[in-house]
Structure 1
Amino acid sequence: MVLSQAAQVADITYLVFVTGGLSAAAMISLAIDRASSVGFVVPAVTPLLVFIALQGGELYLGMSAMMLLFLVFVVLTSTRIERTLHENYRLRTKAVEDEARFRSMLEHSPVATCMTDVETGKVLFANQSYARLMRLPLDSLLHAEPARLFADPDAYAALRSRLASGEEISDHLLEIAASGVQQWVLATFLRTQYHDKPANLMWFYDITDRKRSEEAVQHLAYHDTLTDLPNRILLNESLDRALLAAEREGTSLAVLFIDLDKFKPVNDAFGHAAGDALLQQVSQRLLDCVRKSDFIARVGGDEFVVLLHALQSIADATVTAEKIVEALQRPFVVDGRELHIAASIGVALYPQHAHNSGDLMQFADVAMYYAKLDDEAAVRVYTPGMASGAENISRNEREH
């Protein structure tokens, strides 16, 4: 038998290394079950250890001591490896369970959620709330590039770049245009892992109703409730911007101040409802007389202001003013009644007459009063002499 005949040192050394190697391999292979590991290694090593010890001599006793230490090391190491493997298995199982719970939570979340691949930008995961928000089937959203769903794809691309730099983004306002219906969301982005791959996790809170309410409130603040034309507040802001643009581009700008003649008798005779209906029709006719780039505001009961942009000459302004006069002289029909009014218009221009909004408005107003006093001309262009003369004109004298 091999053990009884192995008398030479080389043979015993060879047996020690072979047995140790087999034992180490067995320990690694069976480490998940410490009992099996120890059950294989101890019976394999113990007979060789006893045999070597019985040979006597310092060399064999040393070799047997080393074998004993190896046996103890194997037992202790197998215990430690078993614990490590069990802990790793527990953590892995927990991670899988946590990911499943997290996915389930996202799938059933009322908040629109999706995850995109960091490299490709394509959607890896999306829930039904996300599909409802985008008004598209869920299948059509998966593995697709979401940039196409936003009104401004470049803004979405900029957000991806910020995420790539390590920034977390919260409550960023985005406009969605996936279904052709304007929608607004507050978006939150952060970097995460999905199936062991880097991903961007995105939440979208639909604030469309709130946004529309805010826009409605803002619209009311800057528009006349009867005619829906801009009011004096928006007029002042628009005139300031128009003057800056005219200065930058080297163009002219005209302010037309319009006051309705004979409106008060109509309002007194037929009531405020008829007067309101008449003002609404006046507003529409004014809009029909100007370009889309021009601006009309209602600044008083029967007073309107028109801003004409990018004019080539004073004649451009007077032509439009005469067009408005002619349009307002045509009969209006309100509640079956034919009503007649007229208009007096004052014109002031930048840069010919003034360089700031206050003076332009004042000079157009003054020119309008001269037009009211002139029986022959319903349109008057401001001249420097009008300013001093206007101080002697009372409001009663201006009304017909």
Structure 2
Amino acid sequence: MLDRDLASDLSPLPRLDLPGLLTALSPYLVLAAVVLLGVAVGHLLRTRRRLERTLAEAARAKAALAESEEQFRTLAEMAAAAIFVYRDGRFLMANPAMTAITGYSRDEILAMTQMDIVHPDHRVAVMNRALARQRGEDVPDRYEVKLLTKNGETRWVDMSAGSITFQGHPASIGTAFDITERKKDQERIHFMAQHDTLTGLPNRALFADRLEQALLLARRAATRVALLFLDLDDFKPVNDTFGHAEGDLLLKETARRMRQRLREADTVGRIGGDEFVILLAPVRSATDAAQVAEEIRREIERPFDLPGGRRQISCSVGVAVFPEHGDAAMDLSKHADMAMYRAKSLGRNRVEVYREGSPEDGGG
């Protein structure tokens, strides 16, 4: 009974008229489609405009970069300083001043690395500098370095370096001013401060420094050093009779003869008008030092053929040896000087080795 009542209450559902519903909704669907289409089109247009602006900005940036690089190249071509661009140690650009300093053509430079033109004496220092920069250490942007030119000459340059963007990629730029002549002037000034202007021999200050260094090494190695004091006999009459020009030539030739008789490790210096000093380091004994002194005496005794005629002089030589005749430079100098005056007092034109207790030493 209950089931029949429930069944009678469940009437059939009405049928959905889908075509009719679509017909009724079609205006709204069309409107929605139009709206969606408009949104999509608007989005596409905005995207297109943004893309066009981006492309336009990129084109302007590219044009500006090209113009900037062109201006840079123009300025570089006109610059008196060497200008070059490099990346990973290889050259990307070099201006005419760079080719003038190095002697290489532009094409040759572009096929080279930095180290190819750095002088061998400075390659390690330049490499260490580059590594320090890579480690982020504080490295000065400016430094002086020697270059080796195509024909083998040495050129000094004042170098500066920095970072740039070149052809759209990070790179380094360098500038170099040729300071070779300035360096030569500095070397000449330094040389003149330490050498006799007439003979080119070390002066008193440089000779004293070399003597101290030789004594320091001799103490460490337990070797001997000999100090010779040499004074020309009767040089003043040459100056007075034949003039200072003739005397200067004689002094220069005397210096040449002494250098010729000595080893490369030995030093001869001029400390006065006709006074010379000789450092023999090392030397085996006082006898060997006296033998060298005798060879020099005989060499100076030979006639000098000068423009004004043949001249003949002699010399007196005193010898003192470390450590027998003194442990300090002052003692050796004093004793070599005393031995030289003993040679003069015994008739000149001879060699005397310092002897403790001699009259010059205050002995009997």
Q: Same fold (TM over 0.5)?
A: yes
Q: Distance in 2 between matches of 1:337 and 1:129?
A: 53
Q: Which residue is equivalent to 2:66?
A: 96
Does the alignment pair 1:273 with 2:269?
A: no
Instruction: State the one-letter code of the partner of 1:128.
Output: P
Q: Distance in 2 between matches of 1:229 and 1:159?
A: 37
Structure 1 residue 146 displacement after superposition: 3.5
Q: Which residue is equivalent to 1:126?
A: 94
Q: Deviations over 1:217-258 (max 9, x none)?
A: 222111111111111121122222222232333322111110
Q: Which residue is equivalent to 2:77?
A: 107
Matches within 5 A, 1:188-337: 188-337=160-309
Q: Which residue is equivalent to 2:115?
A: 147
Q: Distance in 2 between matches of 1:310 and 1:297?
A: 17
Structure 1 residue 175 displacement after superposition: 1.7
Structure 1 residue 371 displacement after superposition: 1.6
Structure 2, gaps ≥5 residues long: 1-18
Does the alignment pair 1:373 with 2:341?
A: no
Q: Which residue is equivalent to 2:103?
A: 135
Q: Distance in 1 between matches of 2:267 and 2:183?
A: 25
Q: Distance in 2 between matches of 1:115 and 1:320?
A: 59
Structure 1 residue 163 displacement after superposition: 4.0
Aligned partner of residue 180 in structure 1, secondary structure: coil
Q: Which residue is equivalent to 1:47?
A: none
Q: Which residue is equivalent to 1:83?
A: 53
Structure 2 length normalisation: TM-score?
0.83
Aligned partner of residue 282 in structure 2, secondary structure: strand
Structure 1 length normalisation: TM-score?
0.76
Asked if 2 retains the 8 angstrom alpha-carbon contact of 1:168 and 1:191, the reply is no
Instruction: State the one-letter code of the partner of 1:114.
Output: F
Structure 1 residue 182 displacement after superposition: 2.8
Q: State, as a whole percentage, how many aligned pairs show the same letter.
A: 34
User: Aligned pairs, how many?
Assistant: 341
Q: Deviations over 1:2-22 (max 9, x none)?
A: xxxxx999xx9xxxxxxxxxx
Q: Which residue is equivalent to 1:177?
A: 148
| Residues 167-176 or 261-270, more deviating | 167-176
Asked if 1 retains the 8 angstrom alpha-carbon contact of 2:201 and 2:270, the reply is yes
Does the alignment pair 1:116 with 2:86?
A: yes
Q: Deviations over 1:283-327 (max 9, x none)?
A: 111112111221111000010001111212222211110111111
Q: Distance in 1 between matches of 2:303 and 2:173?
A: 63
Report the aligned-residue RMSD. 3.0
Q: Distance in 1 between matches of 2:256 and 2:349?
A: 24
Q: Distance in 1 between matches of 2:68 and 2:139?
A: 23
Change (3 A) 1:162 1:351: same
Asked if 1 retains the 8 angstrom alpha-carbon contact of 2:82 and 2:97, the reply is yes
Structure 1, gaps ≥5 residues long: 1-6, 13-52, 393-400
